[in-house]
Amino acid sequence: MKSTYQVLSPGDIRSAREHDEFASDLLFGLSQPVKEISSKYLYDDAGSQLFCRIMELPEYYPTRCETEILLRHGPAIVESVGDARLNLVEMGAGDGTKTRILINQLRGRHVDFRYVPIDISESAVSELCTELVQECPEVAVKGLVSDYFVGVDWLSHQNAARNLILFLGSNIGNFDPTRQVHFLTDLWNALNHGDYLLIGMDLKKAPEIINQAYNDRQGVTAAFNKNLLHRINRDLGGDFDPDQFVYYSAWDPFAGAVKSCLLSKAPQSVYIDGLCRSFDFALWEPIHTESSYKFSVADVHKKARHIGFEVVENFFDARHYFVDSLWRVVKE
């Protein structure tokens, strides 16, 4: 079967529509009392490559933990979902390295399935689809370049097979708690009774372990965040000097999240041609770039129940740093 991918509007940065969306989100974010840029803009081609490097860093435990979970519990996960024809849909698939573990389990059981990776990064989707067609030519792959929310809308029209949705890497933690509920409710609405969601959630743990994961010694996470400024300069004609900003990230136990930002090293004004205006930054003023909420096991159950999912089983790594929780949609 041929591998293919499709750009779902407004997913492609080169399209006028995404360009406009980036401009309006940026105008809104930089006009707030606390300046912010949505973390989804971290993932242009360069950002996606930097994130692949982050996943290999010794300090960045989530990827290794989730790989361990899928290697150890992949057979049980696949067993729980059953052998019926399957739509394996992944939200924010990235490079899909961990997903290959599940794909190989499904192939081993001869389950009839197609794989639909959905990601806002076109380079991530295109590379993943190209690689998969070589590695497993018998698997039907249909990548979609799209925002999660457009992806969920697409999903609501897919009824031909049971859905297993993957939302790995604690991507859910990049939403604040209100948007977590909003997104998961939209997803629940798009799914059918008996469909499954495998959701990866990073668990609360000692602050030093979390802080190290977001402050690696090689400075890759700092470069990943600063790439946002390069992206604004390139796509919207900004005149940010990235050397005039410093990356800062710390666990906030009151919010239950890592808050990441870029701090202005000087009082400065930055002009963005595409927005026809300049923005003033005070000394040490932050631009919020990403939140990464962490969860307790009780949070996992509360969230699932609140929305209408039943927790089938929680799968942990040996240190209980991370959980992949298998949820089933209950509508009857």
| Binding region for ligand SAM (CB under 6 A) | 40, 43, 48, 51, 92-94, 98, 119-121, 124, 147-148, 168-169, 171
CB of 93 vs ligand SAM, minimal distance in Å: 6
- Look at residues 233, 261, 260, 231 and name the one whose alpha carbon lies nearest to residue 245: 261
36, 288 in Cβ contact below 8 A?
Answer: yes
CB of 52 vs ligand SAM, minimal distance in Å: 9
Cβ neighbors of 163 (< 8 A, separation 6 or more) are 86, 87, 89, 155, 191, 192, 195, 196
Instruction: Give the residue with the Cβ less far from ligand SAM, 48 or 227.
Output: 48
Query: 3-state DSSP call for residue 155?
Result: helix
Instruction: Give the residue with the Cβ less far from ligand SAM, 87 or 292.
Output: 292
Instruction: Give the residue with the Cβ less far from ligand SAM, 102 or 261.
Output: 102
CB of 66 vs ligand SAM, minimal distance in Å: 6
Instruction: Give the residue with the Cβ less far from ligand SAM, 121 or 249.
Output: 121
What is the bridge-based pairing of β-strands 140-145 and 113-119?
A: parallel
Q: How far apart are CA 305 and CA 295, in angstroms?
A: 15
Q: Which residue is nearest to ligand SAM (CB)?
A: 169
253, 68 in Cβ contact below 8 A?
Answer: no
* Six token digits for residue 188: 């629940």
Instruction: Give the residue with the Cβ less far from ligand SAM, 198 or 275.
Output: 198
Q: If you search the block for the tokens 């609501």, which residue do you land on?
A: 156
CB of 167 vs ligand SAM, minimal distance in Å: 8
CB of 332 vs ligand SAM, minimal distance in Å: 30
* Six token digits for residue 21: 């969306």
What letter does residue 122 receive in the DSSP assignment? H
Is the bond preceding 10 in cis, omega lying within 30 degrees of 0? yes
CB of 222 vs ligand SAM, minimal distance in Å: 16
Q: How far apart are CA 332 and CA 324, in angstroms?
A: 25
Start-to-end Cα distance in the chain: 36
Instruction: Give the residue with the Cβ less far from ligand SAM, 87 or 121.
Output: 121
Query: 3-state DSSP call for residue 143?
Result: strand
CB of 138 vs ligand SAM, minimal distance in Å: 24
Instruction: Give the residue with the Cβ less far from ligand SAM, 91 or 270.
Output: 91
Query: 3-state DSSP call for residue 256?
Result: coil
